[in-house]
């Protein structure tokens, strides 16, 4: 399994703190939340990579977002020189400002621009080392099938498909039929993403997916369920305490840590053990009062 990028949640410190647990669950790598491949920005100075990826428990795959092939080439070469074996291109971010500018999910609207980005990434990283994370389409779930010849023209490591459209954002059902249709014509390994639960039973999504055609490539990418799983563990208060300490010890300001912890706890809010704590913790205006709300009960 691959840990999905969740901007503001699966940040570098999260991956360092919880990557060991993720390994125990069967995750082998983590794609970073997106890093802009834009003029004047050094990806190695981005908070997602600063400090290096080598010590993370899971393999770190830097994910880029952008639409300028020369900037992608520059950024990809930079992380490759720094020792990252793989990198990824975001072709699925649904935020209207991003899509409007032709980045993220907006790349799906322009096959020419998409092809130039794929060419740049594959050239910079070499065959079989550069991957893509995308959605089923912008408006319709059948768009990806029409775009498959573009993806198939490049030696991609894999294509991760979040089985929703850009328009759906994060709501509504995943479309497994549309996913299957695109996967059936793909020349590269295709990885399923969207609402995968860690407790996969016979009726779960994984059981309804096409089995892998080549051994050794991961079947699914999972994000929010792993974050919820952390909150469901009996040692979750201790995990949270450790995460706060780790974040402060690397120099994050209490205000920034408060924001990060509230974001994390919002994923735990629906769990019976956390519902009451969350109702108090979300109102906290300082890290101290947040900790009071959270750990008073623990
Ligand atoms: C808060 C949040 C931030 C996200 N950030 C990114 C991102 O930086 N890059 C990306 O490709 N997808 C991003 N996604 C999408 C997830 O990686 C994933 O595709 C989506 O959550 C569906 O998978 P899941 O149901 O397993 O969480 C984000 C999703 C959420 C909810």
Question: pLDDT tens across 139-161, in order?
Answer: 999 999 999 999 999 999 999 99
As a residue count, the chain comes to 298
| C-alpha–C-alpha distance, residues 186 and 147, integer Å | 10
Neighbours of 259 (CB within 10 A): 14
152 C-alpha to ligand 1 centroid (Å):
24
Tokens 């769990």 map to which residue?
271
Neighbours of 270 (CB within 10 A): 11
| C-alpha–C-alpha distance, residues 243 and 12, integer Å | 12
Give pLDDT, residue 201.
Answer: 54
Give pLDDT, residue 215.
Answer: 43
Ligand 1 lined by 142 (C-beta under 6 Å): no
Mutate to test the pocket of ligand 1, among 1, 2, 3, 5 (most ligand atoms within 8 A of CB): 5
Question: Sheet holding 159-165: strands in order across?
Answer: 35-36, 63-65, 87-91, 130-137, 159-165, 190-193, 220-222, 2-3, 29-31, 59-61
Give pLDDT, residue 296.
Answer: 83
Give pLDDT, residue 216.
Answer: 44
Q: Is 134 helix (H, G, I), strand (E, B) or coil?
A: strand
292 C-alpha to ligand 1 centroid (Å):
30
Ligand 1 lined by 4 (C-beta under 6 Å): yes
pLDDT < 70 regions, the chain: 52-54, 199-218, 297-298
Q: What DSSP assignment string belongs to 200-250? A: --TTSGGGGSPPPSSTTS--EEE-HHHHHHHHHSTTHHHHHHHHHHHHHHT
102 C-alpha to ligand 1 centroid (Å):
18
| C-alpha–C-alpha distance, residues 256 and 155, integer Å | 40
Mean pLDDT, the chain, rounded, equals: 92
Report yes or no: 91 and 83 within 8 Å, Cβ to Cβ: no
Residues paired with residue 162 on neighbouring β-strands, in sequence order: 135, 193
Ligand 1 lined by 134 (C-beta under 6 Å): no
Half-sphere exposure of 294 (CA within 13 A, CB side): 26
Ligand 1 lined by 63 (C-beta under 6 Å): yes
Ligand 1 lined by 94 (C-beta under 6 Å): no
Give pLDDT, residue 239.
Answer: 96
Residues paired with residue 131 on neighbouring β-strands, in sequence order: 88
| C-alpha–C-alpha distance, residues 144 and 45, integer Å | 33
209 C-alpha to ligand 1 centroid (Å):
20
Of the candidates 217, 134, 145, 214, the one whose C-alpha atom is nearest the C-alpha of residue 177 is: 145
Ligand 1 lined by 103 (C-beta under 6 Å): no
């Amino acid at each position: 399994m691959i840990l999905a990028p969740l901007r503001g949640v699966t940040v570098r410190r999260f991956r360092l703190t919880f990557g060991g647990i993720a390994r125990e669950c069967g995750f082998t790598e983590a794609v970073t939340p997106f890093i802009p491949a834009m003029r004047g920005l050094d990806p190695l100075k981005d908070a997602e990579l600063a400090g290096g990826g080598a010590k993370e428990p899971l393999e770190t795959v830097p994910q880029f977002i952008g639409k300028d092939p020369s900037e992608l080439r520059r950024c990809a070469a930079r992380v490759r020189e720094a020792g990252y074996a793989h990198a990824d291109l975001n072709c699925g971010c649904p935020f209207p400002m991003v899509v409007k500018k032709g980045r993220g999910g907006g790349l799906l609207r322009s096959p020419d621009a998409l092809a130039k980005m794929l060419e740049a990434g594959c050239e910079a990283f070499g065959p079989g080392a550069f991957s893509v994370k995308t959605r089923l389409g912008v408006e319709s779930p059948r768009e990806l099938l029409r775009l498959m010849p573009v993806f198939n023209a490049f030696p991609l490591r894999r294509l991760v498909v979040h089985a929703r459209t850009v328009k759906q954002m994060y709501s509504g059902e995943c479309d497994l039929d549309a996913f299957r249709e695109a996967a059936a014509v793909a020349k590269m390994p295709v990885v399923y993403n969207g609402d995968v639960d860690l407790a996969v039973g016979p009726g779960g999504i994984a059981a309804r997916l096409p089995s892998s055609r080549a051994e050794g490539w991961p079947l699914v990418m999972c994000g929010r369920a792993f974050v919820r799983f952390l909150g469901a563990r009996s040692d979750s208060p201790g995990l949270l305490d450790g995460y706060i300490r780790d974040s402060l010890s690397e120099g994050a300001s209490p205000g920034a840590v408060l924001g990060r912890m509230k974001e994390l706890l919002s994923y735990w809010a629906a769990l019976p053990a956390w519902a009451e704590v969350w109702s108090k913790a979300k109102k906290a205006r300082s890290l101290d009062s947040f900790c009071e709300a959270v750990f008073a009960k623990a």
